[in-house]
Amino acid sequence: MGKEEKGHETREAFTGARRRFVAEAGPATLRAEQRVKETGTLNPLVDPAGYGVIRRSLPRFVQKKNKLWQLAVGVPVPIETRVDTTGSMGDNVDIAIRVLPTAFELCVKMLAECDPQVATGFFGDVQDAIVLCRPQFEMDADKLVEQLTLMVPIRDGGDTDEDPHYGLFGAAYLTAAYIDRIGLKGYDFTISDAPAHDRLDERQLRRIFGMEVFEKVNENGHALNLRDLPSNQEIVQDLLKRAHAFFLQVGDSGATTAYWTRLFGRQRVIVLPRTELAPQVQATIIGLTEGTLALADVKNFLRENNVGGEEAKMIVRSVANIPIGAQAALPNFQKRPKKGDLYREKTDAWPIPPEEAVQVKPEGEKPDKSTWL
Amino acid sequence: MTRKVYDVTDLGPGDGGKGGVVHTVATMMDAHTIIKEGGAQGQHGVCTSRGESYAFSQWGCGTFEGIRTHISPRMVISPSGLLNEGNRLRYEHGIYNVFDLLTVDCRALCATPYHGFASRIKEMARGKNPRGTIGTGVGEAYRDMQRFPELAIRAGELSHPNLRDRLAAVREQIRRDIAPVISGEFLPEDRACVAEEAELLENDAFLDHLVARFNLVPLRIKIVDPDFLGREIFSRDGVVVVESSHGILTDRYHGFYPHNSAIRTLPCFKHAGLREAGYDGQIVKLGVTRAYQIRHGAGPMPTDDPAMVEKLLPGSHKCNNRYQGEVRVGPLDLVLLKYAIEVCGGPGAFDGLAITWFDQIQVNGEWHLCERYQNASDQNFFTPDGVIKVRRGENAEQLQYQENLGRQLQGCIPEITTHKVKSNERREELYSLCGSVLKDRLGVSVRMVSFGPTELDKVCK
């Protein structure tokens, strides 16, 4: 129920999840906002410090009778998005819930044979009670919707410089994704209408990600110098090593474009006419990067997916210069594991060759089970 | 049809190393299901040869291998704990289908956070004279279920429309119970914590939060009817493992009151549950003990030796905490082990023993054993040979007897014998030493010795 044969959630599953988790009246996040007012804490599912701090995107395995582990869906592809909820962007969580089925459906379409794992979070300012909501990577409709309802949008504040760089920090240094281990990359999107402050503060990092943030960064394989924390530019450069990362700009502020272009480069700052169109723009970028959508087909794709003519033109112009085919050009792209591949251990990076799949795993020092008790 | 059930029983007061034993048996025997018994407060540590590590509470110790868990009606569950643990396993350990791997019998009793508050506040009220509790409220929930059956909340009722009223009624009863306790004296260091927990008892927003959390459980986890065990689990081919919390020395009527559990921990109760579910196949009974004595929290422990803590606990996940108190260790107490075995029906009640943490003995080069006590002369409690007598009963007199027995034990002085263990000795030889010593003293064969954390470090014969 609610899942396609490939293991992906259907639109009906999202509708059901929305019915279960979203109240009919008021903002979807009402209960979470009340909780933060009362306790000052986020639900650990979306608290950047929750559940071990590091966000993981891992393969979905089932163990077979021969003790090998079978990939149930396909290569997990993490898609992390952080959306501005300050000032005029305060309704973005409700918008994200509304467009979630479309977002997921389009991702699945562009990531053929893969397992899209989505984490859509929100950011505010360091002066706010909540600076960042960072959920877990998910592929299950119920859990995706539930996590969105646990977010706490800021709503207040102006549209001046924001603090999205703490979210970028998490994405760069506190993400553990299987796809990195096989030499491919996931996707990362920052959505805002404003520039960012330019300095990480150690105390804020501990406040947002917990007191053990630097130990966790270290555990995740990164070495940071506490006395010389990375600049936004360095964070983005590190993020680009593990993700196809983009800034999606809402509005047409020249200062905003200039700021993010300095960080990401012109080819990675993309026009987003309205937050509601994030799924279509993200899917376009993913499709072009994966090679599952040709540039010539973008306009039709957008029009087919309810994007107006003028907005479609803006998007087409904006995505024309992204690194098209960047994922497909990576050396291991053609060797990507597929649904049904068998792994000797679930911690292995690569499946075993099919001819070895018939062999049973070595038993180590285990006794003959037919004679033990 | 399921052809064999392995029942793993801790022969001490808990912390015997059940996690690694259950994981090894389940992996080695390709178990299809682990049945959980006892309470949600357990922490069963598992380290796999792949490098995974976790202390399981409500999921079985075969979860890393994709083995299903069924929570029996004799388990006291924590609904909030189920959500937290499932999320940890899903998000920190990548078990994406972890909620699909669990079924809960609809009759399982639920411990609420209110029971936890009651447990912790009562323990704090004891000041410097603790009873020893984990403080999760499992025991409180069980005792309250016996006193006020109408207040008990079962797993099958978590989505019931009147859940808020039910939880409010539980809260009200607990408020009444602990009102005289709260007005009493507390240690200065506990006062803030007592105030915080007392405030949550009054907080309606917290009650609403709990209702929302409890309602979420049936959306995540399959709550099943009483016939499920026989119909869906025992009808499957292969092997089942029964994993229980607690140990024999904390059994309600054979532990040392008041340092005991509210629930029964003897294998006979588990076996009766299996038979009730229609299972009539073989039950392999495995007793577990560390190679040294351990007790986390208050209660009689004649071989307690503070000087051995540094030698015996490095690398263990055990640590002191406010409610459970100190972790104590000492030489392996064969007198208590014999008592535990006798309580379960004698050496014939077990098909084998699993001895854990022998690697620590090897590191230390000496294996200390207590074979008898001095001062064990009161023939109401000990035989002329110094063996602890087992009294049977399930009433207040039995609890009084067990309390007195506990006092007797606290006055006993252990006589220690020491076996030299070479650090370079092969596992085969160490296994033989362990097996021959314990078979001779206890009358039960050793069938597994653990020389390290993972399943590959367990030698089974």
pLDDT for the residue A364: 47
For A369, the closest of B29, B65, B286 (CB atoms) is B29
Counting Cα atoms < 13 Å in the Cβ hemisphere of B387 gives: 15
Structure tokens at A338: 């597929």
% chain A with pLDDT above 70: 92
Q: What is the pLDDT of residue B317?
A: 47
Measured CA to CA, the distance from residue A193 to residue A162 in angstroms comes to 9
Give the closest of A31, A136, A347 to B91, CB-based: A136
The answer to whether B9 and B267 are in contact (CB under 8 A) is yes
Q: Tens digit of pLDDT for each residue in A320-352?
A: 999 999 999 999 999 999 999 999 999 999 999
> What is the structure's pLDDT at A9?
84
How many Cβ atoms are within 10 Å of A316's Cβ, its own excluded? 18
CATH topology for the A11-357 domain? Rossmann fold (3.40.50)
Asked if B361 and B341 count as a contact pair (C-beta separation under 8 A), the reply is: no
Q: What is the mean pLDDT of chain A?
A: 90
Please compute the mean of the pLDDT values over residues A360-371 and round it to a whole number: 56
Cis peptide before A101 (omega within 30 of 0): no
- pLDDT tens-digit profile of A212-265? 999 999 999 999 988 899 999 999 999 999 999 999 999 999 999 999 999 999
Taking only residues 335 to 364 of chain B, the set having a beta carbon closer than 8 angstroms to any beta carbon of chain A reads 351-352
Asked if A366 is an interface residue toward chain B (Cβ–Cβ < 8 A), one would say: yes
Report the sign of the C-alpha dihedral through residues A9, B222, A60, A83, in that order.
Answer: positive
Which H or E run includes B367? strand B366-374
The C-alpha atoms of residue B16 and residue A112 are separated, in whole angstroms, by 49
C-alpha span between B411 and B346 (Å, rounded): 25
How far does the CA of residue A256 sit from the closest CA of chain B (Å)?
A: 35
- B353 to chain A: closest CA residue: A373
**Residues of chain B positioned with their CB less than 8 A from the CB of A365:** 456, 458-459
Mean pLDDT of A70-89: 90
- A358 pLDDT above the threshold of 70: no
- What's residue B242's pLDDT? 98
DSSP state letters, B133-201: ---SSHHHHHHHHHH-GGG--BGGGTT-TTHHHHHHHHHHHHHHHHHHHHTS---GGGHHHHHHHHHHH
Nearest CA in chain A to B427: A365
B96–A contact, CB cutoff 8 A: yes
Residues of B in contact with A59 (CB under 8 A): 94
Q: Does residue B92 sit at the A interface (CB-CB below 8 Å)?
A: yes
Instruction: Tell me, rounded to whole angstroms, the distance of Cα A315 from its chain centroid.
Output: 21
CB A305 within 8 A of CB A280: yes
Nearest to B219 among A67, A142, A367 (CB): A142
pLDDT band for A22, please (50, 70, 90 cuts): confident
Please report residues of A whose CB lies closer than 8 A to that of B94: 56, 58-59, 346
Q: Would you write out chain B's pLDDT as a tens digit for each of its 461 residues?
A: 888 999 999 999 999 999 999 999 999 999 999 999 999 988 999 999 999 999 999 999 999 999 999 999 999 999 999 999 999 999 999 999 999 999 999 999 999 999 999 999 988 888 878 777 777 899 999 999 999 999 999 999 999 999 999 999 999 999 999 999 888 888 888 888 888 888 889 999 899 989 999 999 999 999 999 999 999 999 999 999 999 999 999 999 999 999 999 899 999 999 999 999 999 999 999 999 999 999 988 899 999 999 998 888 875 445 566 666 788 999 999 999 999 999 999 999 999 999 999 999 999 999 999 999 999 999 999 999 999 999 999 999 999 999 999 999 999 999 999 999 998 999 999 999 999 999 999 999 999 999 999 999 999 99
pLDDT at residue A159 is higher than 70 = no
Residues of chain A with Cβ-Cβ distance to B456 below 8 Å are 364-366
B448: nearest CA partner in chain A: A372
Q: Would you state the pLDDT for residue A277?
A: 96
* Per-residue confidence (pLDDT) for residue A217, from 0 to 100: 97
Please check the confidence at residue A369 and state whether its pLDDT lies above 80.
Answer: no
Residue-level pLDDT at A20: 84
Give the model confidence (pLDDT) of A176-226 as tens digits: 999 999 999 999 999 999 999 988 999 999 999 999 999 999 999 999 988
Closest Cβ opposite residue B87 in set A51, A58, A142 = A51
Phi then psi dihedrals of residue B5, to 5 deg: -120, 125
Distance between CA atoms of residues A35 and A45, nearest Å = 14
Identity of residue B325:
G
**CA–CA min distance A49, chain B (Å):** 12
- Residues A373, B284: C-beta atoms closer than 8 Å: yes
Contacts of B84 in chain A (CB under 8 A): 44
Kindly determine whether residue A373 and residue B96, on different chains, have CB atoms separated by under 8 Å.
no
Q: Are A18 and A104 in contact (CB under 8 A)?
A: no
- Mean pLDDT check: name the lowest of A83-87, A131-135, B221-225: A83-87
Q: What are phi and psi of A213, to 5 degrees?
A: -55, -40
* Mean pLDDT across A168-172: 98
pLDDT tens string A26-55:
788 888 888 888 778 899 999 999 999 999
If pLDDT is split at 50, 70 and 90, which confidence band does A90 have?
low
Longest distance between any two alpha carbons in chain A, whole Å = 76
Q: Is the pLDDT of residue A363 over 60?
A: no
Judging by DSSP bridges, how do beta strands B366-374 and B413-420 pair with one another?
A: antiparallel
Residue in chain A nearest B213 by alpha carbon: A43
Tokens 């709550």 belong to residue? B223
pTM: 0.91
CA distance B320 to chain A (A): 21
- Chain A neighbours among B 124-143 (CB < 8 Å)? none
Q: Does A60 touch chain B (CB under 8 A)?
A: yes
Sheet holding A114-123, edge to edge: A132-133, A114-123, A75-84, A186-192, A243-249, A269-271
Of A1-15, A128-142, B195-209, B340-354, the least confident: A1-15
Distance CA A58, CA A77 (A): 9
Determine whether the interchain pair A51/B94 forms a contact, defined as Cβ–Cβ distance below 8 Å.
Answer: no
Number of A:B CB contacts under 8 A? 69
Distance (Å, rounded) from C-alpha B6 to C-alpha B270?
Answer: 11
- Other residues' Cβ atoms within 10 Å of the Cβ of residue A18: 19
Task: Decide: helix, strand or coil at residue A114.
Answer: strand
